Amino acid sequence: MSSLSHIQDGAHAPLRLRDAAGERELPPFITLEGVDGVGKSTQARLLVLALEHAGIDVLHLREPGGAAISEKIRALLLDPANSEMGDVCELLLYEAARAQLVHQVIEPALAAGTLVVCDRFYDSTTAYQAHAAGLDAAMVEQANSLAVNGCHPALTLVFDLDPVAAQRRSARTDADRMEAKGMVYQQRVAGGFRKIAKQDPQRVKIIDASGDIKCVFAQVRAQLGAAGIDLDEEDVAYALDSFGDSAALGRAGEADRA
């Protein structure tokens, strides 16, 4: 049976993951990051399926979005018609969507002992708005801090793949406003994620996303095991079988979206 290393001080006390050194307790909040088309959304779905099969209460979210107000902001951010949107406006809209998601959904879920898996979080803002768009890094960090109000991931998985290869994988023909910024921009985003991982190696782990879905998910499983969440072979098999047919499993990230 899979296990989640945790402590509970009461019937409704939140679960706590132990860090790699076992020295402190961390909130069970996992985020997945990467450039568009890299396969992280596929891996997020697989992870949630495996966790559910392991008997863990889990909530699957995405950014921007995840709450009614945040989804409305998402529509503004990704609409190609809003091409005149300035970088600071973009930053503040992302942070507004995030602040509402944290307030309305993430904090209550963590307080109830639910493990939260979120497809993108503030590392995307750092990679896109600071590293790629060139906004002042300290300003972006301050905006991130304001939005999350002390709510930080325990584990962040960055799916690393050259944006050109990621674009080839994608079955989409329509680009949203962020994707339409071009390949040079996406390359800067990818570099930004790598810098984030180098700066915070305890929390942020690089996943080589160049393999097929099964190979990539094996890396995800290993990183969760190191963080205190052990998924057994049955959990993994259930997730892969539930996700789709064998043809779909051979195309990592083909249907992945931001």
The mean-pLDDT minimum among 52-56, 80-84, 146-150, 176-180 falls in 176-180
Q: Where are the domains of the chain?
A: 13-245
* For residues 21-46, average pLDDT: 82
* Band (5; pLDDT cuts 50, 70, 90): very low
Q: What are 241's two structure tokens?
A: 């079988």
C-alpha 54/C-alpha 226 separation (Å) is 16
The mean-pLDDT minimum among 4-8, 13-17, 111-115, 239-243 falls in 4-8
- Tell whether residue 37 is among the known ligand binding residues: yes
Q: Is the pLDDT of residue 186 over 90?
A: yes
- Tell whether residue 41 is among the known ligand binding residues: yes
Q: For the chain, what's the residue count?
A: 258
Backbone Cα Rg of the chain? 18
The mean-pLDDT minimum among 77-86, 126-135, 142-151, 249-258 falls in 249-258
- Tell whether residue 38 is among the known ligand binding residues: yes
Give the per-residue SS3 of 211-253: CCHHHHHHHHHHHHHHHCEECCHHHHHHHHHHHCCHHHHCCCC
Question: Nearest-CA neighbor of 236 among 256, 213, 218?
Answer: 218
* Band (177; pLDDT cuts 50, 70, 90): low
Q: What are 124's two structure tokens?
A: 């995307």
Output the CA torsion sign for 34, 39, 43, 45.
positive
pLDDT value for 141: 97
- Tell whether residue 250 is among the known ligand binding residues: no
* Band (176; pLDDT cuts 50, 70, 90): low
The mean-pLDDT minimum among 173-177, 182-186, 217-221, 228-232 falls in 173-177
- Tell whether residue 150 is among the known ligand binding residues: no
**8-state DSSP, 84:** T
- Tell whether residue 228 is among the known ligand binding residues: no
Query: Residues 188, 193, 196, CA angle at the centre, nearest 5°?
Result: 125
CATH number of the domain at 13-245, out of 1.10.10.10, 3.90.1580.10, 3.10.20.340, 3.40.50.300? Answer: 3.40.50.300
- Tell whether residue 34 is among the known ligand binding residues: yes
pLDDT value for 243: 82
Other beta carbons within 10 angstroms of residue 174's beta carbon come to 7
C-alpha 109/C-alpha 90 separation (Å) is 27
- In the chain, count H helices and then E strands: 11, 9
Tokens 């993951």 map to which residue? Answer: 17
